[in-house]
Amino acid sequence: MAQEHQEYIQNKVNPTLENLVTQVLLDRPDNPVPFMIQWLAQQTKAAPQLDSGEAERLRIEIASLEAEVGELEAKLGPNLAPAAAAPAAAAAPSAAAEPVAKARVDDDDEEEEEDDDEGEDLPPPTEYLQKKQRTSVSAEAYGAWNQQKPFTAPVYEKTEDQKGRLTSVLKMCFLFQALSKADLDIIVDAMIEKSAQANERIIQEGADGDCMYVVEKGNIECLKVINEVEKVVKSIGPGGFFGELALLYNCPRAASVEARDDAVLWQLDRETFNHIVRDASMKQREMYEQFLNRVPLLETLGENERGRLADSFHKEIVAAGTVVIKQGDTGSRFYLVEKGELTASKGESSSAREVLQYKPGDYFGELALIKNESRAATVVAKTDCELLWLDNKTFKSLLGPLEDILAKKANDYVP
């Protein structure tokens, strides 16, 4: 029966669960439970009706499973007893219970001896040995059947120019910003440079994922089949990344990915990502989300929208005295201050006057993006700073609902 259970889970349950988890990850609803119930209801309506013979077969199979569960519960005895029953039994022990307890202890001893005779190492399920479809949608799990092995990252030879280019790109990508220098060096060595031609499909929705990509050059689009029509759901430029969801959650590709023009990409394999990047990146994302939750401007956004922002921000570290924005220049970035202080001033350098100061949680650079105008002021780092920024296209895509609020803040810039 255990073999039948494995096959049933693999063939019947997992395909539905994988589709459900993929859809939840794409939509990221604030409250996932109603979303999942609604999704399952829609799938039920779309499923073909069972004939009477199939329905009867399923009823018999369910009854058989219930009977087997009952046998297992009877065999395991107190190990499966409800926790609430334990205090009552302890509070009122009886003489009649003592021989029963002794018998159970004797049975346990016999079972332990049998276990010792059989040995501790059990063979893995047939499906695992055959490397068939994954039996769950989750992070990688390790146990008796899947021992974690010592890991050595691959090393691919690169020129100094390639290393310099790749390092610059990774510093723009928040996914790698939590890494130590030693870990970052490992990632640089392990990545492979790839080229993609315009309109080339790099990832196919639903396929298994064994690598992720970072974009050095070019424009990338993510496409998802919605109502039988493939639609663009996200655009990615230099410094962005894609393909990480399949590695983070051990699930199929959630969307297709195509290059809109000729692109240069850097590919990272699953094993190196899991051993070096995953834990650090998840901690970094949690830190970003906690920071965004404290930004007053974003308080009207839902958890899902703030999560998308956390995935989209780039990080920039600037030293005290650095000019971040220069009055009169064309605006292409929106900034949030994570750490440090900055000042905004207007006028020529000899007669410039300070009009605003920025501290953690403040933002700047939005006016030039909203009004398509040149920068209205010069912003200089007063101390060493850590800034988060969005490019023009991502800003309008993710913060469009806040445009009216941002426009009203224009008066703050009037001296």
- Report residue 212 as tokens: 């992720």
In the chain, the largest separation of any two C-alpha atoms, in whole Å, equals 98
Dihedral sign of CA atoms 265, 268, 274, 276 in order: negative
- Token reading at 77: 């005895």
Together in a domain, 274 and 310: no
Same domain, 169 and 254: yes
Whole-angstrom distance, CA of residue 98 vs CA of residue 234: 67
Confirm whether 215 is domain-assigned: yes
Q: Quick: pLDDT tens for 199-228.
A: 999 999 999 888 999 999 999 999 999 888
| 247 and 279 both lie in a single domain | yes
Tell me, yes or no, whether 204 and 245 share the same domain.
yes
Check which CATH number belongs to the domain holding 234 and give it. Answer: 2.60.120.10
- pLDDT single digits (tens) 108-136: 444 444 444 443 444 444 433 343 344 33
More confident residue, 64 or 194: 194
Q: Which amino acid is at 104?
A: R
Whether residue 290 lies inside any domain: the answer is no
Pick the last residue of a domain from 262, 285, 308.
285
280 and 312 both lie in a single domain: no
325-362 pLDDT tens trace: 999 998 888 899 989 999 999 887 777 888 899 999 88
- Containing domain of residue 194, as a range? 160-285
Q: Which two tokens stand for residue 195?
A: 């080229």
What is the rounded distance in angstroms from the CA atom of residue 47 to the CA atom of residue 50?
Answer: 9
163-180: average pLDDT:
85
Confidence band for 44, pLDDT divided at 50, 70 and 90 = low
Cβ count within 10 A of residue 197: 10
- Alpha-carbon span 273 to 214, nearest angstrom: 12
51 part of a folded domain = no
- Read off the tokens for 255: 């969307």
CA 316, CA 337: separation in Å to the nearest integer? Answer: 10
Is position 142 within any domain? no
Structural contact between residues 312 and 390, judged by C-beta atoms closer than 8 angstroms: yes
| pLDDT for the residue 132 | 38
Which residues, in sequence order, are bridge partners of residue 335? 364, 389
Asked if 259 and 351 sit in the same domain, the reply is: no
Instruction: Give the residue-averaged pLDDT of 20-43.
Output: 75
Are 213 and 261 part of one and the same domain?
Answer: yes
- How far apart are alpha carbons 29 and 302 in whole angstroms? 9
Residue 55 falls inside a structural domain: no
260 in Cβ contact with 199 (< 8 Å)? yes
- 308 and 252 fall within a common domain: no
Rounded (10°) angle between helices 32-46 and 14-27: 130
Domain annotation covers residue 81: no
- Answer yes or no: do 242 and 316 share one domain: no
* 336 beta partners: 363, 388
Residue 182 lies in a domain: yes
Whether the predicted pLDDT of 77 surpasses 70: no
Mean pLDDT score across all residues of the chain? 75
pLDDT of 324 strictly over 90: yes
Q: Are residues 238 and 334 in the same domain?
A: no
Q: Which of 199, 216, 205, 211 is nearest to 267 (CA)?
A: 211
Q: Are residues 220 and 267 in the same domain?
A: yes
Q: Torsion angle, CA of 267/164/241/282, rounded to 10 degrees?
A: 100
Report angle CA 253, 259, 260 to the nearest 5 degrees: 135
Look up residue 266 and give its two tokens. Answer: 């850097």
The 3 state secondary structure assigned to 86-137 is HHHHHHCCCCCHHHHHHHHHHHHHHHHHHHHHHCCCCCCCHHHHHCCCCCCC
Q: Is the pTM of this model over 0.75?
A: no
Q: How confident is the model at residue 86 (pLDDT cuts 50, 70, 90)?
A: very low
Q: Give the chain's domain count.
A: 3
* Residues 406/373, Cβ–Cβ less than 8 Å: no
Predicted confidence at residue 118, as pLDDT, reads: 41
